Amino acid sequence: MSSENQEPVKTICPYCGVGCGIMVQPGDEPGDMQFRPWGDAPVNEGRICIKGGAATEVVDHEDRLTDPLIKEDGEFREATWEEAFEYIISELERIREEHGPDGMGFFGSSKTFNEENYLIQKLARRYGTNQVDNCTRMCHASTVWALRTSLGMGAMTNSMADLEEAADLFWIQGANPGEQHPIANSQYFRQAVLEGATVIQVDPHANKTTRSFQIDETDRHMHLQLEPGTDIPLLNAVIKTILEKHEENPDEGWIDEEFIEERTEGFEHLKETLADFDKEEAAEQCGVPLEDIELAAEKYAMANNAAIFTGMGMSQHTCGVDNVQNEINLSLITGNVGRPGTGVNPLRGQNNVQGTCDVGAMPNVLPGYQLVDDDEARESVEEVWGFEIPDEPGLTNVEISHAIGDTVHGLYVMGENPIMSEPDGNAAERRFKEDLEFLCVQDIFMTETAELADVVLPATSWAERGGTVTNTDRRVQLMRPVEKVHENTRHDLDILCEVGTRLFGEGFDFEGPEEVFEELREVCPIMHGMTYDLLGEEGLHWPCYEPGDEGDEYLYEEEFETENGLGQIEGVRHQPPKETPDEEYPLILTTARLEEHYNTGTMSRRSPTLNRQHPENFVDVHPNDAEEYGIEDGDEVTIKSRRGEITVTANVTEDIKEGAIWTTPHFAAASANRLTNDVLDERAKIPEYKAAAAEIEVDLEPSGGEAAASDD
Ligand code: SF4
């Protein structure tokens, strides 16, 4: 049949967490797929960013893995699926016998679907360990922790559409939707701004978001360009301003006394924490004029509906939980939660990072965020699964990596690339290479992590299989398969079913994703009311407890989902990053992603359209620092930290704060993660990607950009 006669398939963009609908037109040959706009897609109504438009480019890329591979004498050889499965099963059994079930770790993936992540966490737990995690640990673990503990659910309190319609003010801290969530930015924020909404952006780096809010040519928007790692003092100065103004003018509505009284607890603790807080000192620490902070505080407090958007600039710190808690404090004392256009809203990075957590691919929670150490919750899941679940939370993914060679001896990785995504990547690579007894990777490309594996399983891509994904505002949507490209590849779901059935005999015999979803909804209360039929083309927001529930566009209208139904306020104090500049490393290195690239670059570096704009890494350096270190725009420079060095091109710009440098994690040899610090937030165990001490020097003998080359 020619391509014109085939119906385009409605599915979801495989890149970011906005969850835009796209259509894929099948061609004459498998893999010959073309992007088509989906005009009435529920999230984006046909709009698309550069990544979504280029999504089909990698489906039939020449680098696709097409056959299972087994490593022998340091070299991969092609193997049959039977050989690969026999090898995997014998190693999984050996490790459990020699080291116990906690000798293994399992990594799910935000690039894969809810059903697949549900199955990998079930597989880990049936194996006898809670050591299963996913890359949300690296991006929003602290946000999920703070939101779950203080409000009840680890997700956006509101939805994008509701915010566009109702919010008068967007407080965007440590997030860059202009670059990372382009359709959310252009469709929802921009529209609200055109209709009069104000934007307060808090970020050490001026970026596409900053520039995109200049569209209405007013000066009502603000960019507070703070020093990296000073978000707590800045928010404390905002909150203290609001409290002081309320004392002076109690009738002006600076805080919402009724809301605080009836719906929260901990306000006294916040006031005590700030009693001796010095705003002048804080402003100096942040590098932001106090009058700007006070003006921003006034704008937030006086808005009818103010919504906070939070990103990895807040979460990726050793004080990440406290950073987000302070945003929650601000929203609770002003009553800006539980209504349309308000709340605390994390913008999630990958297309299914929200769903991967929702379905329990985390070491401390079962599907629907039921705690593994809650006997009642655990027993209710055990009843459906028919086996005992370990009752102690497992190690997180960075902890699993740190424990390699000590308590962890084997790893099963589905669709992730930890060698590139972990902080202190050089040390992670050494551990994977030297101390891991068994590494199984299932992926579509030979990633940096797959290179180190003992067995590599060729999976199918996003366009070849079906399942559900959950976007940043809790909307569960169906991804529909177009067609399979390489005959000998297998869907992630089928691989996990085969491994589970061979290991345990039962509990993994599913016909397809819908059958898995039916079991998932049985054990996951927040998704219990969803079926594939009910999801349809619009999808449904969770919580959706019973069939027929429409799902909630915003949460906590009546009460919070905490134990006593109250929102938890808790004062927090400044904690500097674990590494601060010194004589040897006088600059503070901070990192973030680019619009055209996607995390470890496995897909985006192979996409000609996406790679064209930024084929190599670079570093933003303030003109005053450039002068001090003798750097000219375009020079090749070496950045060093205590953990490694990379060579990149200098971009001299006032976009970055003086004393700080800014680079990206997408490029293999020149990834920022060769430099980042692997210290963790104590509670959420998220690494401190956003602040490391570094030095920079001009390369006297240019290497010709070798270190920055893509690994395509
Ligand atoms: Fe895809 Fe995100 Fe772009 Fe939408 S905004 S097209 S989901 S990358």
- Per-residue model confidence as pLDDT tens digits over 251-291: 999 999 999 999 999 999 999 999 999 999 999 999 999 99
Overall average pLDDT of the 495-520 stretch = 97
**Is residue 605 over pLDDT 50?**
yes
Percent of the chain with pLDDT strictly greater than 70: 97
The DSSP code sequence of 168-193 is SEEEEES--HHHHSHHIIIIIIHHHH
To the nearest whole number, what is the mean pLDDT of the chain?
92
**Is 462's C-beta closer than 6 angstroms to any atom of ligand 1?**
no
d(CA 371, CA 364): 6
299 closest CA partner among 224, 370, 216: 224
pLDDT at 178: 87
**Mutation probe of ligand 1 site: the residue of 11, 12, 18, 47 with most atoms within 8 A of C-beta:** 18
Residue 700's pLDDT is 64
Q: In this predicted structure, what is the pLDDT of residue 5?
A: 64
Note the pLDDT of residue 645: 93
CA 125 to chain centre: 24
pLDDT tens digits, one per residue of 340-369: 999 999 988 788 989 999 999 999 999 999
Is the dihedral angle over the CA atoms 688, 693, 698, 703 positive or is it negative? negative
Q: Which residues pair with 438 in a beta bridge?
A: 410
pLDDT at 341: 95
Per residue in 397-419, is it b (16+ CB within 10 Å) or e — as a string? Answer: bbbbbbbbeebbbbbbbbbbbbb
Listed residue (698, 705, 691, 711) closest to 641, CA to CA: 691
Q: How far is the CA of 14 from the centre of ligand 1 (A)?
A: 8
Work out the pLDDT band at 216, boundaries 50, 70, 90: low
Structure tokens at 609: 């359209």
Instruction: Give the residue, 609 or 42, on which the prediction is more confident.
Output: 42
Q: Give the residue, by CA position, lying nearest to ligand 1 atom 5.
A: 183
The CA 660 to ligand 1 mean position distance, Å, reads 29
Residue 217: what pLDDT? Answer: 66
Can you tell me which atom of ligand 1 is nearest the CA of 50?
A: 3
**Does any ligand 1 atom lie closer than 6 A to the CB of residue 181?**
yes
On the question of pLDDT at 306 being above 60, the answer is: yes
- Token readout for 579 is 């590494």
Residue 617, pLDDT above cutoff 90? no
- Average pLDDT for residues 288-308, to the nearest whole number? 97
Distance CA 413, CA 444 (A): 12
Predicted pLDDT at 630:
94
> Which residues lie closer than 8 Å to 32 by C-beta, 6 or more apart?
3, 26, 60
Q: pLDDT by residue (tens digit) across 66-111?
A: 999 999 999 999 999 999 999 999 999 999 999 999 999 999 999 9
pLDDT the model gives residue 614: 80
Q: Give 57-100 as a 3 state SS string.
A: HHCCCCCCCCCCEEEECCEEEECCHHHHHHHHHHHHHHHHHHHC
pLDDT for 707: 35
Distance 43 CA to ligand 1 centre (A): 10
Q: How many CA atoms lie within 13 A of 489 on its CB side?
A: 22
- Secondary structure of residue 661 in the 3-state scheme: strand
Q: What is the pLDDT of residue 596?
A: 72
3-state secondary structure of 139: helix
218, pLDDT greater than 90: no
Per-residue pLDDT at 4: 55
Residue-wise pLDDT for 464-488, tens only, equals 999 999 998 899 999 999 999 999 9
Q: What is the mean pLDDT of residues 374-385?
A: 97
Segment 167-195, tens digit of pLDDT: 999 999 999 888 888 898 888 888 888 88
Q: Tell me the best of 11, 12, 13 to mutate to test the pocket of ligand 1, counting ligand atoms within 8 Å of each CB and taking the most.
A: 13
- How does residue 710 score in pLDDT terms, banded at 50, 70 and 90? very low
Comparing CA positions, the residue from 294, 296, 319 lying closest to residue 306 is: 296
- Determine contact, residues 231/646, Cβ cutoff 8 Å: no
Q: Residue 701 — very low, low, confident or very high, per pLDDT cuts 50/70/90?
A: low
pLDDT score for 179: 84
Looking at residues 496-519, what average pLDDT do you find?
97
Question: Residues near 251 by Cβ (< 8 Å), separated by ≥ 6?
Answer: none
Does pLDDT of 541 surpass 70? Answer: yes
Class of domain 69-135+362-534: alpha beta
Q: Is residue 373's pLDDT more than 50?
A: yes
Q: Mutate which of 44, 353, 597 to test ligand 1's pocket (most atoms within 8 Å of Cβ)?
A: 44
| 709 pLDDT more than 50 | no
Give the fold, CATH level 3, of 141-346: Dimethylsulfoxide Reductase; domain 2 (3.40.228)
- d(CA 451, ligand 1 centre) in Å: 29
Contacts of 422 (CB under 8 A, 6+ apart): 138, 397, 398, 401, 428, 673, 678, 687
28 CB-contact burial (10 Å; exposed 0-12 / middle 13-18 / buried 19+): exposed
- Residue partners of 391: CB distance under 8 A and separation at least 6: 372, 373, 375, 378
For the structural domain made of 3-58, what CATH number should be given?
Answer: 2.20.25.90
User: What's the sign of the alpha-carbon dihedral 49, 51, 52, 56?
Assistant: positive
Q: What is the mean pLDDT of residues 633-649?
A: 94
The topology under which CATH files domain 587-709 is Barwin-like endoglucanases (2.40.40)
The helix or strand, by DSSP H or E, that contains position 118, with its residue range, turns out to be: helix 114-127
- 69 with 79: CB under 8 angstroms? yes
Q: What is the pLDDT of residue 348?
A: 82
Query: Global pTM?
Result: 0.92
Looking at residue 711, what is its pLDDT?
Answer: 26
The set of residues, in sequence order, having a beta carbon less than 8 Å from that of 379 and lying 6+ positions away, is none
Q: How far is the CA of 197 from the centre of ligand 1 (A)?
A: 23
Give me ligand 1 centre to Cα 51, in Å.
Answer: 6
Bridge partners, 350 (sequence order): 16
182 ligand 1 Cβ < 6 A: yes
Q: What is the pLDDT of residues 558-590, one digit of tens each?
A: 999 999 999 999 999 999 999 999 999 999 998
Domain residue ranges in the chain: 3-58, 69-135+362-534, 141-346, 587-709
What letter does residue 391 receive in the DSSP assignment? S
Distances (CA, A) of 273 to 244, 286, 469, 574: 14, 19, 41, 11
CA 240/CA 176 separation, integer angstroms: 26
Q: What is the mean pLDDT of residues 378-386?
A: 97
Ligand 1 near 246 CB (within 6 A): no
* Nearest CA, atom 6, ligand 1: 52
Mean pLDDT of 205-233: 86
101: helix, coil or strand?
helix
**For the CA of 47, the nearest atom of ligand 1:** 6
3-class DSSP state for residue 536?
A: coil
Distance 16 CA to ligand 1 centre (A): 5
Distance of CA 338 to the CA centre of its chain: 24
Whether 14 lines ligand 1, by a CB cut-off of 6 Å, is no
CA distance 296 to 502: 59
**Looking at residue 593, what is its pLDDT?**
76
Q: By C-alpha distance, which of 668, 688, 678, 619 is closest to 643? A: 678
Helix axis angle, 267-274 relative to 320-333, nearest 10°?
Answer: 110
Dihedral sign for Cα atoms in the order 180, 363, 117, 487: positive
Q: How far is the C-alpha of 589 from the C-alpha of 593, rounded, in Å?
A: 14
